Structure 1
């Protein structure tokens, strides 16, 4: 059997707070909350979730991996505002302003993007 993705793991200084941010951002649920890990996902049977693991140091440099979020084009501005309301902030990683995405950072400074929705290919 080939390997498959189980969790995306994010190091966190405040596990419960960061898990609550991402659960709210993605409209997911907290599936498991323990001292050394918090797991979120759309439901307990979902094939992939996000796991938050503790670290003592704070984030210092740009992520080497980040999440891209998408939504309907007409909802994009409202979704960015909603994410900012949850505790995200705008982030500058060197973008020019002409990009088709918006760079934000979660409450611990992990960058992520809100991108245009995928186009459906008609074949």
Structure 2
């Protein structure tokens, strides 16, 4: 028996808008686009991907699942993503300095890890 991780589903009020934001932020390609769903992947045939699916209800609290990214240059990547529309958020991480918590335009949290982060 074998399992292959295909995608992470992200519920969204505006799947195409949020999916396009993430596609540009990650440099990924669009593999599916409809009124209610927008899927992106690193390349057309590489998984896992992110699949943005319409959900009318608004986000209620801190996300139970979030993505972590480890760039070559944390400070530069945080600045690039903030300029792209992300915002810094406090989810109770305290004074630690090894990762930065950001949120996408719909408030979904994600972390930009430093080189020495153990998160």
**TM-score of the aligned structures, taking structure 1 as reference length:** 0.88
Hey, which bits of structure 1, 4+ residues long, moved more than 4 A?
A: none
Secondary structure at 1:98 match in 2 = coil
Secondary structure at 2:95 match in 1 = coil
- 1:13 shift after superposition: 0.5
Matched, 1:25 2:25: yes
Gaps of 5+ in 1: none
CA-based RMSD: 1.5
Secondary structure at 2:39 match in 1 = strand
Gaps of 5+ in 2: none
Matched, 1:14 2:4: no
- 1:106 shift after superposition: 0.5
Distance 2:116 2:37 in 1: 32
Secondary structure at 1:57 match in 2 = coil
Secondary structure at 2:21 match in 1 = helix
